[in-house]
């Protein structure tokens, strides 16, 4: 019996070790592009086309790419444009998504479950399949070349409605019932009781929204027409050299572009992990 337990324990240890090694390799594969990006940002255009794996640390570090970016008339305008879109998206999504999640979790009304299933079914429709129809619609109502064409569709996200609803359903209903006895309406229960209790999944939503909106390329490319109004992701592709795209300059711009995401995640990663771990499927 003892031998069997020892063999079973050894087998589990080997599986854990194998899993750890695989995860380590996956982590390395994911971080290598970022290392190459940062390394290339300190190289000349000619040096970028050398083997990136043999010149991770360039022999001669040049700050010319960063100097060119700080002198560029558009770059920090694109940076501000992206931040503006991100902030508007987070604010509107925070309002509409949390209210919808509260309604589905805490308010009883007719056909609630049917309506919720209809909402969930829209997750099967990818945004890319509707981009042409959205462009024609926005063109007819005058929203092309406007940031509202980027913000409004993102303000209502079914995935996060589902995620927050699941978390809210885990909050004891006795809290809401006690608040009703004290004379609170739904809005006060939502704002004073529910919202303070959903910080972890709310932070998760903010992080994902920031990343998706900050990195969005297709929508700004389609809906924003003027170069000055572009967001950072599209603007970076316009950096050109004498022979075409200036990849060294683009890598420097991309390196600066990842700073807000890294900083935000560094400060909020605790809540992010809590939000993912605590949001289970309930009800």
Chain segment 232-265, per-residue pLDDT in tens: 989 888 876 545 677 888 888 889 989 888 888 8
Are 94 and 221 found together in one domain?
Answer: yes
Residues 154 and 30 in one domain: no
In a domain, 20, yes or no: yes
Give yes or no: residues 80 and 108 share one domain.
Answer: yes
Whether residue 67 lies inside any domain: the answer is: no
Query: Is 176 within the bounds of a domain?
Result: yes
Burial of 5 (C-beta count, 10 Å sphere; 0-12/13-18/19+)? exposed
Please tell me the number of Cα atoms within 13 Å of 91 on its side-chain side: 7
Q: What is the pLDDT of residues 88-104, one digit of tens each?
A: 999 999 999 999 999 99
Asked if residue 141 and residue 31 are part of one domain, the reply reads no
Whether 106 is in a domain gets the answer yes
What is d(CA 110, CA 36) in angstroms, rounded to the nearest whole number?
56
Predicted confidence at residue 35, as pLDDT, reads 87
**pLDDT tens digit string along 31-74?**
888 888 888 888 887 787 776 666 777 777 888 889 888 888 88
Residue-level length of the chain = 283
pLDDT score at 180: 86
Q: Is residue 267 part of a domain?
A: yes
Are residues 227 and 94 part of one domain?
A: yes
One domain, residues 136 and 250 = yes
Q: How many CA atoms lie within 13 A of 173 on its CB side?
A: 5
CATH number at residue 257: 1.10.3720.10
**Would you state the pLDDT for residue 8?**
55
Report the C-alpha gap between 215 and 212 in whole angstroms. 5
177 and 242 in a single domain? The answer is yes
> What domain range includes position 111?
73-278
pLDDT interval class at 11 (50, 70, 90): low
**pLDDT tens, 185-243?**
888 989 888 898 888 888 889 988 999 999 999 899 999 988 888 999 898 888 765 45
Query: Would you say residue 283 lies in a domain?
Result: no
pLDDT over 50 at 281, yes or no: no
Q: For position 28, what pLDDT does the model report?
A: 86
Average pLDDT of the segment spanning 179-183: 84
Answer whether residue 110 shows pLDDT above 60. yes
């Amino acid at each position: 019996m003892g031998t069997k337990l020892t063999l079973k324990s050894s087998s589990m240890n080997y599986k854990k070790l194998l899993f750890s090694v695989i995860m380590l390799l996956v982590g390395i594969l994911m971080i290598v592009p970022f290392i190459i990006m940062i390394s290339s940002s300190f190289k000349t255009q000619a040096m970028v086309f050398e083997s990136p794996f043999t010149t991770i640390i360039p022999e001669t570090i040049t700050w010319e790419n960063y100097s060119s970016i700080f002198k560029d008339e558009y770059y920090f305008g694109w940076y501000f444009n992206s931040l503006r879109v991100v902030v508007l998206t987070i604010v509107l999504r925070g309002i509409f998504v949390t209210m919808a999640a509260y309604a589905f979790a805490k308010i009883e009304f007719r056909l609630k479950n049917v309506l919720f299933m209809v909402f969930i079914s829209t997750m099967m429709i990818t945004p890319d399949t509707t981009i042409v129809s959205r462009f024609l619609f926005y063109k007819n109502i005058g929203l092309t070349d406007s940031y509202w064409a980027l913000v409004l569709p993102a303000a209502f996200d079914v995935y996060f409605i589902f995620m927050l609803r699941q978390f809210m359903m885990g909050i004891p209903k006795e809290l809401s019932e006690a608040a009703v006895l004290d004379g609170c309406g739904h809005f006060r229960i939502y704002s004073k009781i529910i919202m303070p209790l959903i910080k972890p999944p709310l932070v998760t939503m903010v992080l994902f929204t920031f990343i998706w909106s900050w990195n969005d390329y297709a929508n700004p490319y389609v809906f924003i027409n003027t170069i000055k109004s572009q967001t950072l992701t599209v603007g970076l592709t316009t950096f050109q050299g004498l022979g075409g795209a200036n990849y060294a300059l683009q890598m420097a711009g991309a390196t600066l572009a990842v700073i807000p995401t890294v900083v935000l995640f560094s400060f909020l990663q605790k809540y992010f992990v809590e939000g993912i771990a605590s949001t289970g499927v309930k009800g």
